[in-house]
Structure 1
Amino acid sequence: MLVAAAVCPCPPLLVPEVAAGAAPELDAARAACTDALGVLAAARPDRLVVVGPGDLPGPERYPESSRGSFRGFGVDLDVRLGRAGGRAGAGDARAERRLPYALAVAAWLLERTGWADAPVEGVGVGEGLTPGDCARVGRELAAGAERVALLVMGDASACRTLKAPGYLDERAAPFDAEVGRALGAADLSALLALDTGLARELKVSGRAPWQVLAGAAEGAGLGGSLLFEDAPYGVGYAVATWS
């Protein structure tokens, strides 16, 4: 059963080594992410599942100790998912797959905060999954242990300004506002109702992960809190907790 969740953005720029001279611009987002992970630790879960946008249609599972890298961004930095000393099963080919960038950012956040509270697993979900598919995945994850926590990675629109990756789209700000409201209110119906086509046009990476969260939270009775919301670089970032 889901006992807590944290929602965080997933830009590689969240990692200071990647952001370099621009690192201070995301200090507030990093601080909010740290607070959100504190809520997960306080819930004392039996298992933590990190959910984020994946490279494949998915869902693709990544066991504890799966590795990720930021070398593609010109930084000599590698990360590992989960607790120090955690091990994937012998011969588990899944552990040889590199983490998608969003799960690598999550692994960095967990390492930064010294996560050692529960075993960790990663799940990548592709933007092609329907809301119903996402909800089903979420329900399966929530049923995986007596006390499950989710760390849900994903960005809102990338079309908030003229210099944004997706250029300015007037639909972006209202879309992001509804996402922020739904995450802050733990509004499952609103998250599952997000328009998949519009999300794709606005270059939203978090739609499928948020809908997995909505499915996992069914019947859990969790309340939400929005800790951070902003759009640096024209991309919508939100941090929220459910507990």
Structure 2
Amino acid sequence: MLVAAAVCPCPPLLVPEVAAGAAPELDPARAACLDAVGVLAASRPDLLVVVGPGDGSAAGAYPAGAHGSFRGFGVPLDVTLGAPDPAVPGPRLPDSLAVGAWLLERARWTGAPVEALAVDGRAPAGKCAGAGRELAARADRVALLVMGDGSACRTVKAPGYLDERAEAFDARVTEALGAADLAALDAVDETLAYDLKAAGRAPWQLLSGAARGAGLGGRLLYEDAPYGVGYTVAAWS
């Protein structure tokens, strides 16, 4: 059963070395993410699963020991998911899960075993919810670290340019995540989310499926749109 969840954005810019001179701008987001991970630790889960978007061949499960790298962003920084098994070479994490692994390292996670799941961003809501229910049934006490950004269309300088629908979309999603409103998350429009380049849509709907029947409440820790991209941090417990 799901006992806790942390919702965090997944831009590589969350890593200070990647952000470089712009790093202080995201300090409040980083602090909120670490607070959310603290809620996961306090829930004392038997299993922690990091969930994030990963299209194409990157979609799928990743074991402890999977590695990620920010070298593609010009930074000689590597991360490892959880405690690796030296007998099993870990596969390469997609960027969203690498940011999640970095957060856990930053928080000095020493709790439950850690695994990860990259969700195809085009997966329909029902499939996402079903995957969430399967994750929640994996152990008596399951926690999720859910990585995903909101729209990337909040300003003319945003990655997806300006779309007038983006601000209202992010507001609805942020309200749903902050309130742990499962019905509202289920109702997030897949086509609109795709149009607005909202990478978090599939992970959020997976979270909704995992939380069904768990009776969790939500708390909003951070909301902003730096660089024209919607970032939300919330904790469920």
Same fold (TM over 0.5): yes
Amino acid at match of 1:196: E
Measure the CA separation in 2 of the matches of 1:184 and 1:130. 23
Residue 128 of structure 1, aligned match among 105, 122, 126:
122
> Where in structure 1 are there 5+ consecutive unaligned residues?
none
Aligned partner of 1:112 among 80, 91, 106: 106
Aligned in 2, Cα 1:57/1:185: closer, same or farther, shift over 3 Å? farther
Note the 1:187-202 alignment, pairs <5 A: 187-202=181-196
Match of 1:54 in 2: 54
| CA-based RMSD | 1.2
Q: Give the structure 2 partner of residue 13 of structure 1.
A: 13
Structure 1 segments of 4+ aligned residues over 2 angstroms from their partners: 55-59
Q: How does 1:26-175 map to 2 (within 5 A)?
A: 26-56=26-56, 59-83=59-83, 86-87=84-85, 90=87, 95-175=89-169
Task: State the SS of the aligned residue for 1:210.
Answer: helix
Amino acid across the alignment from 2:63: P
Secondary structure of the corresponding residue to residue 178 of structure 1: helix
Give the gaps of 5 or more residues in structure 2. none
Partner Cα separation in structure 1 for residue 9 and residue 55 of structure 2: 17
Q: Helix, strand or coil for the counterpart of 2:234? A: strand
The one-letter amino acid of 1:122's match is: A
Alpha carbons of structure 1 residues 98 and 57: separation in structure 2 relative to 1, 3 Å: closer
Aligned-partner SS, 1:214: helix
SS in 2 for 1:45: coil
Match of residue 212 from structure 1? 206
1:203-231 CA-partner distances (Å, limit 9, x unpaired)? 00000000000000000000000100000
TM-score by length of 2: 0.97
Letter in 2 for 1:193: A
Contact 1:69–1:78 (CA<8 Å) still a contact in 2? yes
Q: Describe the SS at the equivalent of 2:56.
A: coil
Question: How many angstroms does 1:57 deviate by?
Answer: 6.5
Correspondence for 1:232: 226
Rounded to whole Å, the distance in 2 between the matches of 1:185 and 1:59 is 28
C-alpha distance in 2 between matches for 1:57 and 1:22: 32
Post-superposition Cα deviations, 1:122-157, rounded to whole Å, max 9, x if no partner, equal 000011210000000000000000000000000000
Shift of 1:87: 1.5
Q: 2:150 & 2:141 partners in 1: Cα distance?
A: 28
Task: Check conservation: 2:65, 2:90, Cα contact below 8 A.
Answer: no
TM-superposed CA distance for 1:58, in Å, is: 7.1
- Distance change in 2, residues 1:233/1:163 (3 Å): same
